[in-house]
Structure 1
Amino acid sequence: MQNISPEMRIAVIELSSDPEIELFEIDLTHIGGIRYRFYNGMNNQQKPLIWQKQTYAPYPVSGEGFTYSGKGPSGRPTITLSNLFGLITGIVSQLDGAGGGYVIRRIVKSRFLDAENFAEGNTDADPSQEIISRWVIEQVTSLNNKTVSFMLAAPSETDGAMLPCRVILSDVCPWRYRSAECGYTGLPVADKWGKSTGDPAKDKCGKRLPDCKLRNNQARIGAFVSTSRLS
């Protein structure tokens, strides 16, 4: 599911819109691997690009077919990565094809990139301005000594997909704040009403998407936000 803020919608349709940056995060931690962040390029200072304070290693990567369908099954996009030094071959061999791994694709307008990417900083930097889509690695479709390609699927359409064995809540997160499921370990941010605070004793989560956004932790919300759109 894609989350697009009003500001990002405006940026997308502007005639003088600045270039889009395509970032890929490959999360294999739940299948025995590690997390990778790749960008097919470098920032304006010829250094690894930084987004939301995370470093995206310069690595040849491309994707195609990233569209969602409102009717019937979604397409099957592909992500292709360089197999430089056999890196991806090693991952595929060690993790049984990396099936089930997560791919998070982020589209960011260059104007919103972190200030660290620019020699003179960036007053327009805004870590909330991104388009996110999440996918699951379904299978390897091509592997040679130059590149490796993976077919992806929407999380709800992977083989054997089942409804979770817990109550589906569209707007209330069931996770205990700062638990392993929640994943937030940062500084105090706000009380349960969303009011800013630096006091650890008052730092509480309201259990809703806006509260996760205050902590830049919306990717870990335990609510099934998309179900609120079902009819």
Structure 2
Amino acid sequence: MNNIIATTAQLLTTDAVITLYEIDAKNYGQGVLRFHANSNEVLNFNGYNYTPFPIKSEGFEYNGKGSLPTPTLTVPAQDLAFMSVLIGSNNLEGCDVRRIRTFEKHLDSGSDPDPSATFPVDHFYIDRRSAQTSVSITFELASKLDQQGKQIPNRQCIKNTCTHSYRYWNAETQEFSYENVTCPYAGDEYFDREGNKIIDPAEDTCSKDLVDGCRKRFGNNPLPFRGFPGLQRY
């Protein structure tokens, strides 16, 4: 959990929690669909617009008994635009789903906008359309680990190299792009591949190293390093 979120969550009074949904339908030519059900207004977070949509979710919580959660998403069946997407994309089967939660003040229009301030992001994929009535459609989600024939661990363990995907500079917009980026760094200090501080944001490149990459960007805060510095040979 982001340290800002962790600190805020422990306060006696906190801001409203905003839940955002992303469905990655790029494999079907539909792009990334972004929704929320918090209000009737378009919300903006991390530079993206999230359309108001009466989407409901259940079952994201882990039960602590070892079994993976199998959440569901329920959407209205009368929405013609969404129905046309379903028809043209095999009911969105196999599409990645991300549930992002943050405090209202961290939205782009909030009092303290911060795209890195989120609760742990829930990452699933649409397994199947499990129910449909004249009113609603329900999708069953599955964890990325819950795939037949997969073995754990499936991730390659590398000692000194971070496997996060880092932001990149968009020359057309003259801004950083965070599309499909996993590294939470969104600061305004820039470094080259050797960890030297630079001025030009277009040259900002992460060394993927714990000290020259991660530590210089996050300082004494908890590091999101995706390597395994304690890994030893046996």
- Contact 1:73–1:157 (Cα < 8 Å) also in 2: no
> In structure 2, what is the equivalent of residue 114 of structure 1?
108
> In structure 2, what is the equivalent of residue 52 of structure 1?
46
Unaligned segments of structure 2, at least 5 residues? 177-189, 218-223
Q: How does 1:25-44 map to 2 (within 5 A)?
A: 25-42=22-39
Give the secondary structure class of the aligned counterpart of 1:204: coil
Q: How many angstroms does 1:151 deviate by?
A: 0.8
Q: How many angstroms does 1:154 deviate by?
A: 1.3
- Separation in structure 2 between the aligned mates of residue 47 and residue 93 of structure 1, nearest angstrom: 27
Q: How many angstroms does 1:170 deviate by?
A: 6.9
- Separation in structure 2 between the aligned mates of residue 162 and residue 88 of structure 1, nearest angstrom: 35
Unaligned segments of structure 1, at least 5 residues? 176-180, 215-220
> In structure 2, what is the equivalent of residue 86 of structure 1?
80
TM-score (norm 2): 0.70
- Contact 1:136–1:158 (Cα < 8 Å) also in 2: no
Structure 1 runs of 4+ aligned residues shifted over 6 Å read: 163-166
* Residue 20 of structure 1 pairs with residue 17 of structure 2: yes
Give the secondary structure class of the aligned counterpart of 1:114: coil
Q: How many angstroms does 1:162 deviate by?
A: 5.3
> Which of these two proteins has the greater Rg computed from alpha carbons?
2
TM-score (norm 1): 0.71
- Contact 2:73–2:139 (Cα < 8 Å) also in 1: yes
Segment of structure 1 superposing worse, 138-147 or 19-28:
138-147
CA pair 5-71 structure 1, distance change in 2 beyond 3 A: same
Q: How many angstroms does 1:63 deviate by?
A: 0.7
Aligned length: 201
Q: How many angstroms does 1:71 deviate by?
A: 4.7
CA pair 99-170 structure 1, distance change in 2 beyond 3 A: farther
Q: How does 1:134-145 map to 2 (within 5 A)?
A: 134-145=123-134
RMSD of aligned Cα (Å) = 3.4
- Separation in structure 2 between the aligned mates of residue 146 and residue 159 of structure 1, nearest angstrom: 32
CA pair 143-208 structure 1, distance change in 2 beyond 3 A: farther
CA pair 159-28 structure 1, distance change in 2 beyond 3 A: farther
Bigger fraction of residues in helix: 1
Q: How many angstroms does 1:70 deviate by?
A: 5.2
* Sequence identity percentage: 25
Q: How does 1:109-188 map to 2 (within 5 A)?
A: 109-115=103-109, 122=111, 124-131=112-119, 132-161=121-150, 167-169=156-158, 172-173=161-162, 184-186=168-170, 187=175
- Separation in structure 2 between the aligned mates of residue 113 and residue 162 of structure 1, nearest angstrom: 38
Q: How many angstroms does 1:6 deviate by?
A: 1.8
